[in-house]
Every structure is written in structure tokens, then in C-alpha cells.
């Protein structure tokens, strides 16, 4: 297998030569499952295609193992790609689709047969080897596309939104299949998606991108709990993180408060030290807090505020309340599914301020110690 080193990669298009990928720099470990995630047009698929050799590199270097591959054609990079559309040959059986690439390489017939049947067994598509693609479900077709990649025994698997054409139930099933496949093959996986749930559930590390620029590279847990900026914080997590705009004020006793036009929240000592370090007393700040760190009045008496109930979303075991707290957007609060309230009812809720994140109101960068 192989590690991958991407050094200061750029991609520019058009007469204006604007950067579609801007100074992308990353080392991918051998056997790692790495996910590029971001909104449409952020440059994630373009980066993947440059690694594959399907797009020319404007500037920078890509190494697979110790080999510089900038000028190598895709067939010589020892990679396999799985695309969003399955790209199967409709006139060929499943067996022939999987075997096609090996036949082009003129491998012996018995080796091809062993490789195809081994891949079919791993992917649980042995009963369908004699069928044509039109006789398969979407999930089965995607397994065939994966099988065609597996038989090549590549150093690196590159996957460009391979599950986006599947329905919700199949996507969940195929996510688990890909995790198992990665473990069994022990290969390096690079996976592109706009779905943050896919990124969170499958990745060893996540690369969050926006406008061709890396915003953060870290484990799913770290990206969720300590996002580098407001974009990452809002993109990762469902429902989205709450952002509340306010001002940091100091009480006569030295305690700090996060103040808005409607309420003030006591700031714990660790966070207060952080805000003092960044000279935020008397200045605007953006507070970020996840819905699961807010709830009905109870534990955190210093952090009580009143919100006006507007709507709710039932999500199985949880219910998410949307409350008007005098900000541009409602505050989303997670409660038990059985929780009920009336429209425009005033609710007293509390925030666990030890879980609150603070972001610079101008740059959007999270304040760090």
C-alpha cells in the first residue's frame, strides 16, 4: 500500500486564472481512510482528480509512496477510482464487468477468475455474477463498481461521491460496507463527499474545504468539538451549531458576562481567561453552542435565558425546539421526544457554558488558548 504527499497543490481555470484549488498541502498516511468534505464547488473533486491524473496540476507536487506522479498517466499510478455513476458496461455480465480491466492487462484466465470470485465474495455479490447491470439494484451496482476496483489490488482507492445516487437506507448500509472493506483490504482510501454524516461516520481524518482552501484537517471528533472557524462549526453537525452574537462585559466583581439585548450569561473561568487573553472584554463576540448542550432549566442556574417557542422537529428519540431569543436565527435546543409546548410559549432554558465555543466576530476564527 502507499502513503500520499500533496505539496502546495494549485488548480487554475480560465483567462482570469482564479484558484479552484488553492495551496492544498497534506500528507495522507498509509492505510488511512481520509475524507474530503465541503459544499459543491469547493474543489474537493478537482483535488481528487489531480491525484488520479484526470486533471492537470497547475502548480505543486503529488507523491504516491516515494514516486512523483505529476506526469504519470492514470494507468501507471496504481490507483483505482469509484465514481458517482457506476460506469458499468450494460451489455456485460457482472462477472465480465469486474474482469474487464484484468483482461485488458492480459492476465491469465485462472488468475482473473480467482480475483473476480474473491472480490464478489468480499462484496457479497456472488449470486449475481451472471446478471446484467440492469437486473441489479443501485446498491448492487455500486458493489460491482467497487469489485472492479478491488480486483486491481491498487495502492490507493479514490472515491468520488460513490453513494450519492443511493436512497437513504442503502447509503447507511453501504457506509458500513465501505468501513468493513477498508479494514479488510488494508488500503489507503480517499473519499469525496458533500455529506458531513458520511464524513463523520467513515473517516479516520476529515479535510474540510471551502472555496478551494483547506479549513481544517483533523479527526471527526476534533472537527466536531473544536472547529477551527464558524464555517467548519456550521458545516459539521446536524442540526447545525447555534451562533449567538453578543458582547463581553466585566462585572464589578471581575466575572465576565456574555451579553445580548435580551439576556446575559455567566462565563466560566477557563473561557473568561481565554477571552481576556484575546482582549475581548467590551468587544463583540460570536458564541457557538451545539443543541445538545442546551436544555430545559435545571443544572446550570448561571446560564438561564428565556426563549419563545416557534416550531419543533421530531427526530426519533430527540425533538429539536426552535426558539426566538432576539437573534437573526432561532436557537435550536435538543430535548426528549415526549417534550411538548404551545406556540409562542415562553420557555426558560439553560446553556452549559463550559461547552460554549467563542469565535472572533470579524474573522470567524475560533479563539484558542
Same-domain pairing of 30 and 121: yes
- Residue 299 has what pLDDT? 53
- Residue 93 has what pLDDT? 97
Domain presence at residue 254: yes
Domain presence at residue 280: yes
Q: Pick from 201, 235, 269: which residue ends a domain?
A: 235
Same-domain pairing of 16 and 115: yes
How many distinct structural domains can be found in the chain? 2
Same-domain pairing of 345 and 295: yes
Same-domain pairing of 253 and 224: no
Same-domain pairing of 201 and 267: no
Domain presence at residue 367: no
Owning domain of residue 156: 4-235
**Which residue reads 450519492 in cell numbers?**
164
Same-domain pairing of 208 and 129: yes
Same-domain pairing of 213 and 262: no
Q: Pick from 204, 235, 266: which residue ends a domain?
A: 235
Domain presence at residue 366: no
Domain presence at residue 94: yes
Same-domain pairing of 223 and 251: no
Give per-residue pLDDT as tens, 219-246. Answer: 999 999 999 999 999 999 999 999 999 9
Q: Pick from 179, 209, 235: which residue ends a domain?
A: 235
How many alpha carbons lie under 13 Å from residue 43 in its C-beta half-sphere? 23
- Residue 14 has what pLDDT? 81
- pTM of the entire structure? 0.92
Preceding omega of 272 cis (within 30 degrees of 0):
no
State the Cα–Cα distance between residues 278 and 193, nearest whole angstrom. 35
Q: What Cα–Cα distance (Å) separates residue 258 from each residue in 267, 287, 300?
A: 7, 8, 15
Walk along the chain (369 residues) and give the pLDDT tens digit of each residue: 689 999 999 999 987 888 999 999 999 999 999 999 999 999 999 999 999 999 999 999 999 999 999 999 998 999 999 988 888 999 999 999 999 999 988 999 999 999 999 999 988 899 999 999 999 998 899 999 999 999 988 999 999 999 988 888 888 888 998 999 999 899 999 999 999 999 999 999 999 999 999 999 999 999 999 999 999 999 999 999 999 999 999 999 899 999 999 999 999 999 999 999 999 999 999 999 999 999 887 655 568 999 999 999 999 999 999 999 999 999 999 999 999 999 999 999 999 999 999 999 999 999 998
State the Cα–Cα distance between residues 3 and 349, nearest whole angstrom. 49
CA angle 357, 360, 366 (to 5 degrees): 45
Same-domain pairing of 61 and 206: yes
Same-domain pairing of 208 and 60: yes
CA angle 327, 331, 335 (to 5 degrees): 165
Same-domain pairing of 146 and 39: yes
**Closest-CA residue to 28 (of 53, 59, 62):** 62
Domain presence at residue 138: yes
Q: Phi and psi dihedrals of 242, rounded to 5?
A: -85, 135
Amino acid at each position: 500500500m502507499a502513503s500520499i504527499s500533496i505539496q502546495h497543490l494549485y488548480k487554475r481555470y480560465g483567462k482570469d486564472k482564479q484558484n479552484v484549488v488553492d495551496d492544498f498541502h497534506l500528507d495522507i498516511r498509509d492505510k488511512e481512510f481520509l475524507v474530503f468534505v465541503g459544499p459543491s464547488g469547493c474543489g474537493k473533486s478537482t483535488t481528487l482528480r489531480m491525484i488520479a491524473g484526470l486533471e492537470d496540476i497547475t502548480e505543486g507536487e503529488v507523491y504516491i509512496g516515494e514516486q512523483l506522479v505529476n506526469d504519470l498517466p492514470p494507468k501507471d499510478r496504481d490507483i483505482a477510482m469509484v465514481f458517482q455513476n457506476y460506469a458499468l458496461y450494460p451489455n456485460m455480465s457482472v462477472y465480465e464487468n469486474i474482469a474487464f480491466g484484468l483482461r485488458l492487462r492480459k492476465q491469465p484466465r485462472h488468475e482473473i477468475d480467482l480475483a473476480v470470485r474473491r472480490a464478489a465474495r468480499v462484496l457479497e455479490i456472488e449470486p449475481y455474477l451472471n446478471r446484467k447491470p440492469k437486473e441489479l439494484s443501485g446498491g448492487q451496482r455500486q458493489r460491482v463498481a467497487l469489485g472492479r476496483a478491488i480486483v486491481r489490488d491498487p495502492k490507493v482507492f479514490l472515491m468520488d461521491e460513490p453513494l450519492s445516487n443511493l436512497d437513504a437506507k442503502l447509503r447507511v448500509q453501504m457506509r458500513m460496507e465501505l468501513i468493513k472493506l477498508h479494514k479488510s483490504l488494508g488500503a489507503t482510501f480517499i473519499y469525496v463527499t458533500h455529506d458531513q454524516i458520511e464524513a463523520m461516520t467513515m473517516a479516520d481524518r476529515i479535510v474540510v474545504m471551502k472555496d478551494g482552501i483547506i479549513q481544517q484537517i483533523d479527526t471527526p471528533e476534533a472537527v466536531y468539538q473544536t472547529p477551527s472557524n464558524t464555517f467548519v462549526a456550521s458545516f459539521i453537525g446536524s442540526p447545525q451549531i447555534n451562533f449567538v452574537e453578543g458582547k463581553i462585559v466585566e462585572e464589578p466583581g471581575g466575572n465576565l458576562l456574555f451579553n445580548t439585548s435580551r439576556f446575559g450569561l455567566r462565563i466560566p473561568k477557563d473561557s473568561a481567561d481565554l477571552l481576556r487573553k484575546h482582549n475581548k472584554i467590551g468587544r463583540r463576540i460570536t458564541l457557538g453552542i451545539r443543541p445538545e448542550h442546551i436544555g430545559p432549566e435545571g443544572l446550570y442556574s448561571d446560564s438561564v435565558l428565556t426563549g419563545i417557542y416557534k416550531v419543533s422537529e421530531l427526530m426519533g428519540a430527540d425533538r429539536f425546539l426552535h426558539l426566538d431569543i432576539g437573534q437573526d436565527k432561532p436557537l435550536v435546543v435538543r430535548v426528549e421526544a415526549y417534550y411538548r409546548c404551545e406556540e409562542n410559549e415562553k420557555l426558560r432554558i439553560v446553556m452549559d457554558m463550559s461547552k460554549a465555543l467563542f469565535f472572533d466576530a470579524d474573522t470567524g476564527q475560533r479563539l484558542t488558548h
